[in-house]
Amino acid sequence: MLSIRDFSKKQIKDLIATAAQFENKIVTDPKYVLPPFICGLLFFEPSTRTMCSFQSAVARLGGTSIVLPGAKDSSMAKGETEMDTVRTMSQYCDVLVIRHPQKGLIRLFSESLEIPVINAGDGEGEHPTQALLDLYTVYKHCGRLDDVTVWAPDSERSRTVNSLRHILGLFDRNEIYDTHVLPGNLDIIYMSRYQKERFLEDAHTQRIVLDEMVYNTLPKEVGIMHPLPRGPELPAAIDNRTDCAKILYFDQMKNGIYARMAILHNLLKNNVNK
């Protein structure tokens, strides 16, 4: 899974349905049982949720993870190239999950490998597994995949919003706005961290903060999402509020387990031990 652009609407719908099966624990069906497998995790950029929810997904599917520590503790400290490092890991695993700060590089790596590769975020490019868990979260909140209006303010260079735009675009009449004013008929507010590592200089623009004052104006039907980690745009003061809009970002991170189980299952069901 390198990009959402490689998927059809039908494939995404099937993955959402599989994620729901995993969440509802209907996994006794032999259709959902995988032979033992090994998943390699190579993160050339920091991660908490993506890395750990993949490990959790692998464990729940009965597989094993091999995590390569950052450059400091691997043979890259002796000058080994990233390509040789990736190729080495591919010899030990049935599937590789890779995150890299450079857009497009994960696809390039995958072209030299014989096992499936999952893009866990490539610079400001894409974050397809996040898009699937985000869509699953939208689906759980709205009960549909069409006719959804999302407001994603201050999301320049956000790979999660980039991929969310693609996945929502597969369905009908979905709108995603990055305006400074709230659009009408809103279903989801998708906040995101200012991607400071992707700007040479701080843009110094006034950014939207979803503080208690803003929260108090939001109707109950609106769901608030954030891929996390958060910055000042999402004060923790609203975390436990239930009276206005619905806080979805904790459930959203948990949905990462089920979405990633579905992705791994889909990639490996015909591929393990070949």
Q: Where on the chain is the footprint of ligand NCD (CB under 6 A)? A: 49-50, 121, 127, 130, 159-160, 192-193, 227-228
DSSP string, 10-66: HHHHHHHHHHHHHHTT---SGGGPPPP-EEEEEESS--SHHHHHHHHHHHHTT-EEE
CB of 129 to ligand NCD, least distance (A): 8
> CA 41 → CA 111, 212, 221, distances in Å?
18, 38, 38
CB of 176 to ligand NCD, least distance (A): 16
Q: Looking at beta carbons only, is 47 or 271 nearer to ligand NCD?
A: 47
Residue 118 burial class via C-beta count within 10 angstroms: exposed 0-12, middle 13-18, buried 19 and up: buried
Q: Looking at beta carbons only, is 120 or 218 nearer to ligand NCD?
A: 120
CB of 217 to ligand NCD, least distance (A): 25
Q: Which tokens sit at 137?
A: 């979260």
Q: Is the dihedral of CA 64, 126, 110, 4 positive or negative?
A: positive
Q: Looking at beta carbons only, is 62 or 232 nearer to ligand NCD?
A: 232
CB of 121 to ligand NCD, least distance (A): 5
Q: In what order do the strands lie in the sheet with 95-100?
A: 64-68, 38-43, 95-100, 117-122
Q: Looking at beta carbons only, is 51 or 115 nearer to ligand NCD?
A: 51
Q: Looking at beta carbons only, is 3 or 50 nearer to ligand NCD?
A: 50
CB of 32 to ligand NCD, least distance (A): 25
**CA–CA distance, 162 with 148 (Å, rounded to integer):** 16
Q: Looking at beta carbons only, is 127 or 141 nearer to ligand NCD?
A: 127
Cis ω for the linkage preceding 229 (within 30 of 0): yes
CB of 257 to ligand NCD, least distance (A): 13
